[in-house]
Structure 1
């Protein structure tokens, strides 16, 4: 039986480790700075308990908490050098859904943090501010 969505159990990494990893990458490769900025926004907005994440190569893969059982949808923030690499100066964020109705947006890296939170709200109901969705 073929299914859509992420078919594997989600292996959550601590946000602090992701922050350190992507922060180090951004120091060595400035084109990765927006990836580090997204992670820092999760800390700044106190959403580390509402979202779980891991990295795949340098991509950031995010799910809501509690972590769903497979298959489930994920939001993937594609990094420079990804197999699904965005164009130069762009960020690519994808929602890989269980229904197969995937959604992809490429925008300038200056829009990375607001675009990430747009996906968190639209796909997972996790709001960056006071407004309450699921978390």
Structure 2
């Protein structure tokens, strides 16, 4: 079967490790604060056990649990220095599917957390009970 999904095994990291990585990065480069905000919203939510995350360079990759076998779709939050970087002061969040569809939205970084949860709700049906704001 041919697929356009992520072809490699997804190796989740503990959310605390992901948070520490982005906090350290944001301390040096404040334009990463929205990455910290997204990770902290996951850690504080009732959905934390339903999501697995890891980083690829500075991008955040998120899949539902249990982690599917490849090929798999995922939600990606593109970092400010990503190859697919957003414009200054913006965030890019995208969903890649196994069918080849790719949804990509760029918005002001201030909208990062609600935009991330919009993707998790629409693409994976994961709705935290305590959805922020």
SS of match in other structure, 2:117: helix
Aligned pairs for 1:53-68 within 5 A: 53-68=53-68
TM-score under structure 1 normalisation?
0.93
Runs of 5+ unmatched residues, structure 1: none
Aligned pairs for 1:1-135 within 5 A: 2-129=2-129
Aligned length in residues? 131
In structure 1, how many angstroms separate the alpha carbons of the residues matched to 2:113 and 2:121? 12
In structure 2, how many angstroms separate the alpha carbons of the residues matched to 1:130 and 1:29? 29
Runs of 5+ unmatched residues, structure 2: none
RMSD: 1.3
TM-score under structure 2 normalisation?
0.94
Q: Quick one: higher RCO (CA 8 Å, sep 6+), 1 or 2? A: 2
List, as ranges, runs of 4+ consecutive aligned residues in structure 1 with deviation greater than 6 Å.
none
In structure 2, how many angstroms separate the alpha carbons of the residues matched to 1:45 and 1:69? 25
